[in-house]
Structure 1
Amino acid sequence: MMTRVDLRNKKVDHGRETMEEEKLEIVDLSSMSLDSLPNPSLNLATICKLDLSNNNLQNIPESLTARLLNVVVLDVHSNQLKSLPNSIGCLTKLKVLNAAGNLLAFLPKTIENCRCLEELNANFNKLSMLPDNIGYELVNLKKLSVNSNKLMLLPHSISYLTSLKVLDARLNNLRSLPEDLENLINLQVLNVSQNFQYLETLPYSIGLLFSLVELDISYNRITSLPDSMGCLRKLQKLSVEGNPLVSPPMEVVEHGLHMVKEYLSDKMNAGHRSPLKKKSWVGKLVKYGTFNGSIRNHHSNSEEREGFIMSEYRSIDGLASPRYTGIFSPRHRFFSPKRIFTR
């Protein structure tokens, strides 16, 4: 039996409080202007969803987090947290963690123990790195959102997130992406746009992301798309605006996604005997049954052209422009992500 308790308007019959605590599963402490958390009178082990968002919290007590043994959703977005407690590693049932809009400079290494985690949102923080082993441990992670931070690199272990469907790393300082992306067999959306002068190349393994539907690399310093991208058969949307592209040339780009794929596929087919690095990738693509030379199609490509975004850039959730970053600071919460819990 699930009971929703909104402690902003708590009315409890103290004579029945013990019985009510046994049924408590959802607690909403959001938007209460809290600077610190009160001493809990509840049995924390009965809570499966806890909303602490839109407050002024600077820390969350280690002892409190360690007792949230059955929490599935933890929402602490839009506070002033400089760190998350190490005891977050005790939350072995946690599936959703929203820590967006804080002042986090790092994520605790113990987050690797949250092996049931499916969605991690750390957007609009001050992250300069992610835990090295995060990809080896969070095997159930489906959505990783780390946009609007200060990340220079994504750890190599990211390429082992085999369940990952969405990776949003735009508006960072990324210099490169991990070389071995082919293990991201379920990745459908990849957004590494707006790393501006930092991101200059894409790894060749991007052509082995066979489930990829949307790719946004706009507003970087990329001059050449890997030939392997010609084999991304499921790709429907490609954003390349704001890059000094040379290959493919702009006259190809202007004809849309279909022509870009064909150009890259033809280029790979023509040059697959050299250099040796390309030969090994062609071998992999043939093995996976994705590379068969030219993919020419002379039928109408109007649908493909609609999927190729050049003239107008729109990010996945419409909030990629740098002019929006300020409104997600702890002091400006009127555009904060929609709360999970309601009264």
Structure 2
Amino acid sequence: MMYEHDDEQQDMRKRMDRQKSIEEEDRLEIVDLSGMSLDSLPNPSLNLGTICKLDLSRNNLQNIAESLTARLLNLVVLDMHSNQLKSLPNSIGCLSKLKVLNVSGNLIESLPKTIENCRSLEELNANFNKLSRLPDTIGFELTSLKKLSVNSNKLVFLPSSTSHLTALRVLDARLNCLRSLPDDLENLINLEVLNVSQNFQYFETLPYSIGLLINLVELDVSYNKIKTLPDSMGCLKKLQKLIVEGNPLTSPPMDVVEQGLHAVKAYLSEKMNADHKTPQKKKSWVGKLVKYATFNGNSRRGTGRAREEREGFIMPEYRSIDGLASPRFMGMFSPRRLFSPQTYFSR
């Protein structure tokens, strides 16, 4: 009887908690102060703890008070794009419920380390700022992050912890000064879109681990200084869109590139089959590719479809790309589009 009584009390507490949560959600408010040419924020006439969405975009704000941010405890969406912000308050780390943060189009040179405390964050947009680096341990803390947009900044590298953003689906780092990507990309098991285009003379190589991005659908590495695509890319089974124009590619050669994605994958897979037995580095990576079920290099016998399926580079659902370097992509490099924040990918 005692156990039954305890169960009843526990059920009652759960019902009360649910009711309290519903009542709190009913009290939450959306506050829109966008496009009002504000130089500073007015003294709020409402309880900051009741705001779930705050839009401060398209104003002239140069800073946000620490005390104000610290009281936005139920904030889920914070939009501050197109202001004159040079930094974010450290108290942003108090926003434990924050899911969307948009600070694009400002003058921000660095993100506060406290942003790592926003562990509910799913989308971070910091495009068109002056970022030269991201917090070193950002990938260890923001484990819920699904979209990271940092294009049009001054980033020289992405921190190695970026490879631990296991929930990440979209990574947009185009128009920076990137030299390379982190080596251990295989942890990005949910990544679908990767754009590191237009880093121009700085970006020369892709890590071999890019072949372990098992859910990658779109990859844009255009307008860099890449001469060789890693042969592990032949194992990207879900890849449907690849943009490589504007690179001095020698492997695969341009005549293969012009045949489309299907031919590029086939070329890289054949290259892996021919080379993986000798270099020690390739051996270790082939082992990982086999483990991730992206590559099978056990046999080169057979012809036709059976052989293609064994080698893991032809799949029925592949949608070939007509003319990776065709004129229809050349408009991307016009000055008007080069500095446009819009995404180049299309479905």
TM-score higher than 0.5 here?
yes
Map Cα deviations across residues 86-111 of structure 1 (whole Å, 9 max, x no partner): 00000000000000000000001000
Shift of 1:24: 4.7
Judge conservation of contact 2:237–2:314 (CA < 8 Å) in 1.
no
Map Cα deviations across residues 273-321 of structure 1 (whole Å, 9 max, x no partner): 1210000011111122211246378999994134846433389xx8x86
What residue is the counterpart of 1:276 in the other structure? 280
In structure 1, runs of 5+ residues without a counterpart are 1-21, 329-334, 336-343
Map Cα deviations across residues 213-254 of structure 1 (whole Å, 9 max, x no partner): 000000000000000000001000000000000000011111
SS of structure 2 residue aligned to 1:312: helix
> Given residue 295 of structure 1, which amino acid in structure 2 is its aligned partner?
E
Judge conservation of contact 1:238–1:309 (CA < 8 Å) in 2.
no
d(CA) in 2 for partners of 1:326, 1:170: 10
> Given residue 295 of structure 2, which amino acid in structure 1 is its aligned partner?
F
What residue is the counterpart of 2:47 in the other structure? 43
What residue is the counterpart of 2:188 in the other structure? 184
d(CA) in 1 for partners of 2:190, 2:323: 20
SS of structure 2 residue aligned to 1:33: coil
Judged with a 3 Å threshold, the aligned counterparts in structure 2 of structure 1 residues 222 and 298 are, in CA distance, closer, same or farther, namely closer
Whose RCO is larger (CA < 8 A, sep 6+)?
1
Judge conservation of contact 1:34–1:56 (CA < 8 Å) in 2.
yes
SS of structure 1 residue aligned to 2:78: strand
Shift of 1:149: 0.3
2:119 to 115, 118, 125: 115
Judge conservation of contact 2:238–2:318 (CA < 8 Å) in 1.
no
What residue is the counterpart of 1:304 in the other structure? 320
> Given residue 221 of structure 1, which amino acid in structure 2 is its aligned partner?
K
Judge conservation of contact 1:285–1:291 (CA < 8 Å) in 2.
yes
Pair 1:204-2:208 in alignment? yes
**TM-score normalised according to structure 2 size:** 0.83
d(CA) in 2 for partners of 1:44, 1:37: 13
Judged with a 3 Å threshold, the aligned counterparts in structure 2 of structure 1 residues 314 and 97 are, in CA distance, closer, same or farther, namely farther
> Given residue 258 of structure 1, which amino acid in structure 2 is its aligned partner?
H
- TM alignment of 1:1-343, pairs within 5 A: 23-293=27-297, 295=308, 303-306=319-322, 308=324, 310-313=326-329, 323=336
> Given residue 185 of structure 2, which amino acid in structure 1 is its aligned partner?
L
Shift of 1:326: 6.5
Judged with a 3 Å threshold, the aligned counterparts in structure 2 of structure 1 residues 302 and 67 are, in CA distance, closer, same or farther, namely closer
Judge conservation of contact 2:237–2:315 (CA < 8 Å) in 1.
no
> Given residue 265 of structure 1, which amino acid in structure 2 is its aligned partner?
S
Judge conservation of contact 1:124–1:325 (CA < 8 Å) in 2.
no
Map Cα deviations across residues 26-77 of structure 1 (whole Å, 9 max, x no partner): 0000000000011112100000000000000000000000000000000000
Judge conservation of contact 1:123–1:149 (CA < 8 Å) in 2.
yes
> Given residue 329 of structure 2, which amino acid in structure 1 is its aligned partner?
Y
d(CA) in 1 for partners of 2:338, 2:200: 15
d(CA) in 2 for partners of 1:299, 1:57: 52
In structure 2, runs of 5+ residues without a counterpart are 1-25, 298-306, 343-347
Judged with a 3 Å threshold, the aligned counterparts in structure 2 of structure 1 residues 212 and 314 are, in CA distance, closer, same or farther, namely farther
SS of structure 1 residue aligned to 2:31: strand
Judge conservation of contact 1:56–1:80 (CA < 8 Å) in 2.
yes
Counting matched residue pairs gives 305
d(CA) in 2 for partners of 1:134, 1:231: 29
Shift of 1:322: 5.1
Judged with a 3 Å threshold, the aligned counterparts in structure 2 of structure 1 residues 299 and 63 are, in CA distance, closer, same or farther, namely closer
Q: Which moved more, 1:287-296 or 1:263-272?
A: 287-296
d(CA) in 2 for partners of 1:63, 1:90: 11
Judge conservation of contact 2:75–2:97 (CA < 8 Å) in 1.
yes
d(CA) in 2 for partners of 1:314, 1:186: 30
d(CA) in 1 for partners of 2:108, 2:315: 51
Judge conservation of contact 1:236–1:308 (CA < 8 Å) in 2.
no
Larger C-alpha radius of gyration, 1 or 2? 2
